[in-house]
């Protein structure tokens, strides 16, 4: 379990909003979309874009589809299999070439659980496509400080579920410097970064 469920709060509160939205292209992938609320925010404010929200958890995709019906947005779709969306089949063991079809992608609150997400997204992007990573910038802080900052309702739920020590370990392991490093290794050029007291934003461009 991660922080995907409240990524919409970050968008709606305006944090990094003006740095995220201009980088969303015509066909956009929201990788690890969870319940879809972040994808819906992107679709709402980027009306000329079509947003594909992807998550491997079918239950979360079902929740996202319910959220879409309530929103009435037509420029967003939710998928639990990118292969099926792109190629028409979902056999993960089949040999195939990834289609470089997306103009941009977001990975919101996924990096701290899977830093290789940047490399995984690379094949789906067109040449010069952009990736936007939003995550925690809490590396190196004390347990006391972490408890103070990790205070949103969903964060407290995560803490209760995982246990404090495991939650602390997971959410303080990486920071923006690590993200830039993984981005470079995955053949992305850094084109924009931003920091707040709690979060970081990194934008890379595929080379």
Pairing of strands 199-206, 188-195: antiparallel
pLDDT tens, residue by residue, 78-91: 998 877 666 654 55
Pairing of strands 199-206, 125-136: antiparallel
Tell me the chain's radius of gyration from C-alpha atoms.
16
Whole-number Å distance between alpha carbons of 55 and 108:
12
pTM over 0.95: no
Whole-number Å distance between alpha carbons of 111 and 22:
21
DSSP for 165-197?
HHHHHHHTS--HHHHHHHHHHTTEEEEEEEE-S
Give all domains of the chain, ordered by start, each with its CATH number.
3-139+174-206 (3.40.50.150), 141-173 (no CATH)
Lowest mean pLDDT among 61-70, 109-118, 148-157: 148-157
- 89-112 burial by CB neighbour count: b if 16+ within 10 A, else e? eeeeeeeeeeeeebbbbbbbbbbb
pLDDT tens, residue by residue, 137-186: 999 999 999 999 998 888 898 999 999 999 999 999 999 999 999 999 99
Return the residue matching tokens 């922080």. Answer: 3
Amino acid 130: pLDDT:
98
Q: In sequence order, what are the beta bridge partners of 206? A: 188
Q: In sequence order, what are the beta bridge partners of 101? A: none
């Amino acid at each position: 379990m991660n922080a995907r469920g409240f990524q919409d709060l970050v968008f709606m509160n305006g944090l990094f909003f003006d740095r995220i939205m201009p980088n969303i292209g015509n066909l956009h992938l929201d990788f690890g979309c969870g319940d879809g609320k972040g994808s819906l925010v992107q679709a709402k404010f980027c009306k000329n874009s079509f947003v594909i929200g992807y998550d491997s958890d079918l239950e979360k995709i079902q929740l996202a589809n319910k959220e879409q019906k309530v929103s009435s947005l037509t420029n967003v779709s939710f998928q639990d299999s990118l292969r099926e969306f792109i190629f028409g089949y979902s056999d993960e063991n089949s040999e195939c070439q990834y289609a470089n079809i997306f103009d941009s992608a977001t990975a919101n609150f996924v990096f701290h659980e899977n830093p290789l997400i940047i490399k995984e997204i690379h094949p789906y992007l067109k040449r010069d496509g952009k990736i936007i990573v939003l995550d925690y910038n809490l590396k190196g802080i004390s347990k006391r400080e972490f408890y103070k900052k990790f205070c949103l309702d969903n964060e407290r739920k995560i803490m209760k579920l995982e246990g404090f020590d495991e939650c602390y370990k997971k959410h303080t392991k990486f920071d923006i410097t690590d993200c830039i490093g993984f981005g470079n290794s995955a053949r992305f050029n850094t084109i924009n970064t931003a920091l707040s007291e709690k979060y970081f934003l990194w934008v890379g461009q595929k080379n």
